[in-house]
Structures are given as structure tokens and as C-alpha cells.
Amino acid sequence: MHKLQNPASCTMPLLPCTNLKSTRNVVENDPYSYAPTHTVPVTPIPDQAPSVVLSSPYSDAGVGILQEPQHVFTMASTSPRLTDRENSPELTSALIHCFLDKFREDHFFYLPEMSINNSSETLRSLSITVILWATYLGADSIYPEERLLALAVSNAARDSTTLDHASNHQTSIQLIQTHILLSLYFLDHAIFMQGRHHCGIATSLAFGIGLHHLNAQLYAGPVPPQFLRNMGSRTPSLATSTDELTMLSKAFWAVVTLNHYWVAITGTPSHLPFDAIPVISTHQPTNNMDHILTQASICLQRIVAFTATAGYPPPEDDSRAFADELEAFTNTVLLPVGNRGGPTLTLSHLFIHAAVLQLHAPYSNHSMTSNTKCWAAGEHMLACLAHMTTEQTASADIIIAPLLAVFAEFYLKTPNASTTANVQRILAALDAFSKSKGERSTLIRICIANIQAEAQFFQVHGMY
């Protein structure tokens, strides 16, 4: 087996590169990045669709299309491309159907379907974001994607001005959903700053209305003053039924999981306040697969945070404790990958195997145990790919792409006889993944391009 000269070169963040749109710019021992022995320029991806970067998202320019209609879906009836106003309901139905085809079973979508169809009860920003996603997914839409994005962001800002202590909490719940969907949209387009921004807003709103302690009352001390405490939304008034309590619980854990996605993507700290973790009483998802995914994402986030703050090398006792925790989770919680868990279970496995890699990769060059753990995690990852059907690939979550890229980088930086075959299997899986998404995802294309660039670099320099 070939050895790298610098073991620190394997101290990887959970994305092949923190900044995917420029060359790496890292500092030795930077807690959220790693310094490779050889720097490979990041391959830029030319835009194949109109730019979605907003220069002035909150300006009035281009918002007039929504000034007169009472609801966003009535835009259809004013379009010159429609010769009959009766076509509007069909267009609306097609857009909603396209959106729900993707998000109906998604752990990031928690609202009842009827709330999307009921124009009188849906926030304008949420309605526009639904149309934005449907348009992006390829629905026969008459609306330019750039315009929809600008409208969604600007209306989300406007809708936030309606929030106050007297507001019905449903407004906040819909606005949280809006920001989650916008964050996912920017994630798919590899626009990280704006994506994390919307994730942060969703997180702030979720904690602000008390979604983190739905199932228990906290001890009420003298801080804050009673009169200020009573001005906020209190937990008992949030849920009026079991179904609503379930929906609110899903909303909270969707926010938590989204935060962990961004930790895995960028290596930056979570928006979740550290002091909130001990007091979270909200029950985790009742769906077993979603529950496992939430737990797996928590494991990954904790290990990324640990390796980022512990220094190099981190305390041995703490590292051993995390290793034991991962092993226990794998043995007692994580179901076998072929256990009909679908893409959600596969994603949970990838989170855990990436966490193993994050914890052990810094020592793989000089510790046989760590090296074995890393290669075993890689074998488990390849087994996950082998079990994914075409249908599961089409419905898989976008976060799979950067998680697979992490393993590709590990193989390239610790080369042996199987490196080429393993990297090619990952590239083939990513290519199939991209095609299943209509080759729309910028994030997937960036992952593919940069794995190919790194593989070519290492091959040219005779490193494998």
C-alpha cells in the first residue's frame, strides 16, 4: 500500500472542498478544512441554466407580477400564453402535483397537502416557493425561474414582518417550511451562503415559537421577566390535536436535520444553539427511517464539531468514546442496508460511514486500527451503492453526492490496488444520480467534475 507523507493530509472536512467555486484556500490546522499535500484546482462548472444568484432580491423590480392577484396561483390566468382563463386551475394543479411528487414523502416537507392547495390559507412566499421548485423540477411552467426565485426570497422577507406575539403560529410554521425549501433549492444549486442563511432563519423561527420543547414544560425561573415571557408563543397553545403535534414535531426535526446537512456540506458550525440541546423535549420522528436518519445526522454533526475543536491529534479518550458510540449505533440502531429502508436508510448508512471516516482518517497512515476502520467504512459505502435500485437513486437525497465525494477523496489520498475501481464506482453512481435528477443539480455536477480532476491530477503525478 502506498503511504502519504503527511498524515494530516487526510484530515478531511465532510465535503471534498469547502469552497466549490474557487481553488482551495486553507490554513494548516484550520479546524474546518484540511491541507492536502498537493493542491488540485477546483473545476468550475459553467452555468447551463439562467443564473439564480440574486443581486437585489428585495428590490421592487420585477415584483409587479404579484401586485394585483390575491394569490400567486392566479398569475396563470393573466398570462398571455393562456388563451382561456379556465386553463388556470389545470396549470395550478400540474405545478402542485409536480412539487408533491418530489416532496410528498420527503422528511423536509411536513405540511398537510391541503394547505398547499388552499390559496386563502397559504403564505404568498410558500406558494411562490412551491412554484419555484415545480419549475426547477421541469414542470410545464410559464414562469421564469429567476423571477420566481427573486419573488420567493423577497416575499419571505415581507411575510416575516407579519410575525409578532399575537400571530397565529401557523404563519410561523409555513414560513419555516418556506425557508427550508429555499435552503434546499440553494443547496441543489451549490449556492452555500444563501442556503445556510435560509436554514438559519428556519432554525431561529423554530426555536422562537418553542418547537424544541413540545412534549414537556421547562422550569420557569425569574429570567426573562414574566410579562416578557407571556408575550411570546407558548408551547401549550401550539398544538390542538395529535396530528398537529406530529406535524410540529416533524417541522422541528426537519430543521435539525437540515442544519446537519449544512455541517456535512460546508464544515461550518450548526445554527442550533449549543445550550438548547440538553432541553430539547420534542419527540423524534415516529417514522422509523426518519428517526434513524435524524440520529445518524446527529452523530455526524457531533464528530465534525469534535474533530474541528479538539485539535490534532484530538484527545485519545474522547476519540475512543466517539468510536464506541458509532459502533454501538451501527450495531443497535442502524438497520442492515438491504432491509427495505429505501434511500433514507441508505443515506443514514452514508452519514455514519462518513462519520467513521471523519474520526479515523487522520490516523489511517500510522494506525492499523484507524486504517482498517476507514477501509471498512468504504466497503460499507460501496455496499450501499450496490443495493440502490434505479427507483431509489431517483428519489435519493442530494446530500448523497458530497458524501460519496468524501470517500472518493479518501481513496485518492490513500491509494492501493483498488483505488481506481473504487473511484470509478463512485463516479458511475454519481453519474446515474445526476441523470436521475435530469442533470439539473449543480452540486452533483461539481462533485463529479472535481473527483475527475483530482483523479487525473493524482494519476498524472503517479500517486496511484
For residues 344-363, give the mean pLDDT. Answer: 92
Most confident of 42-51, 95-104, 308-317: 95-104
pLDDT tens column, 330-340: 888 887 776 56
Q: Please, which pLDDT band fits residue 45 given cuts at 50, 70 and 90?
A: low
Kindly state whether residues 244 and 366 are assigned to the same domain: no
Q: Please, which pLDDT band fits residue 92 given cuts at 50, 70 and 90?
A: confident
Could you say which DSSP state residue 45 is in?
-
Question: In degrees rounded to 5, what are phi and psi of residue 454?
Answer: -65, -40
The share of the chain scoring above pLDDT 90, in percent, equals 42
| Conformational region of residue 26, where left means phi above 0, alpha means psi within -120 to 50, and beta covers everything else | beta
Residue 230 in any domain: the answer is no
Residue 157 in any domain: the answer is yes
Q: Please, which pLDDT band fits residue 226 given cuts at 50, 70 and 90?
A: low
Contact between 350 and 300 (Cβ < 8 Å) = no
* pLDDT computed for residue 326 by the predictor: 92
Most confident of 63-67, 225-229, 240-244: 240-244
pLDDT tens column, 100-111: 999 998 999 999
Most confident of 19-23, 87-91, 92-96, 355-359: 355-359
Contact between 446 and 190 (Cβ < 8 Å) = yes
Kindly state whether residues 6 and 86 are assigned to the same domain: no
Q: Which amino acid is at 237?
A: S
Residue 222 in any domain: the answer is no
Could you say which DSSP state residue 277 is in?
G
Residue 206 in any domain: the answer is yes
* pLDDT computed for residue 116 by the predictor: 81
Kindly state whether residues 462 and 343 are assigned to the same domain: yes
Question: In angstroms, what CA-CA distances link 213 with 69, 237, 257?
Answer: 39, 12, 17
Question: In degrees rounded to 5, what are phi and psi of residue 372?
Answer: -65, -40
Kindly state whether residues 314 and 421 are assigned to the same domain: yes
Q: Does residue 432 register a pLDDT over 90?
A: yes
Most confident of 18-22, 60-64, 90-94: 90-94
* pLDDT computed for residue 120 by the predictor: 64
Kindly state whether residues 314 and 365 are assigned to the same domain: yes
Whole-number mean pLDDT of the chain? 78
Residue 291 in any domain: the answer is yes
Q: Does residue 358 register a pLDDT over 70?
A: yes
Contact between 152 and 128 (Cβ < 8 Å) = yes
Q: Which amino acid is at 68?
A: E
pLDDT tens column, 278-289: 778 888 888 888
Kindly state whether residues 22 and 87 are assigned to the same domain: no
The share of the chain scoring above pLDDT 70, in percent, equals 72
Could you say which DSSP state residue 138 is in?
T
Cα separation, 234 vs 394, whole angstroms: 41
Kindly state whether residues 17 and 96 are assigned to the same domain: no
* pLDDT computed for residue 288 by the predictor: 86
Residue range of the domain that includes 443:
1-42+287-464
Q: 322 CB contacts (<8 Å, ≥6 apart)?
A: 302, 303, 306, 359
Kindly state whether residues 367 and 246 are assigned to the same domain: no
Q: Helices marked H in 333-367 — which ranges?
A: 342-360
Kindly state whether residues 441 and 335 are assigned to the same domain: yes
Residue 57 in any domain: the answer is no
Cα separation, 349 vs 336, whole angstroms: 9
Q: What b/e readout covers 417-446, taking b as 16+ CB neighbours within 10 angstroms?
A: eebeebbebbbebbeebbebbeeebbbbbb
**Sign of CA pseudo-dihedral 382, 42, 300, 442:** negative
Q: Please, which pLDDT band fits residue 140 given cuts at 50, 70 and 90?
A: confident
pLDDT tens column, 1-41: 433 333 333 444 444 443 343 333 333 333 333 333 444 55
Cα separation, 250 vs 256, whole angstroms: 10
Residue 79 in any domain: the answer is yes
Higher pLDDT pick, 375 / 273: 375
Closest Cα to residue 247, out of 397, 107, 101? 107
Kindly state whether residues 257 and 300 are assigned to the same domain: no
| Conformational region of residue 128, where left means phi above 0, alpha means psi within -120 to 50, and beta covers everything else | alpha
C-alpha neighbours within 13 Å on the C-beta side of residue 421: 6
Kindly state whether residues 111 and 32 are assigned to the same domain: no
* pLDDT computed for residue 44 by the predictor: 55
Residue 281 in any domain: the answer is no
Kindly state whether residues 73 and 10 are assigned to the same domain: no
Total tally of structural domains belonging to the chain: 2
Cα separation, 203 vs 175, whole angstroms: 11
CA angle 416, 417, 418 (to 5 degrees): 95
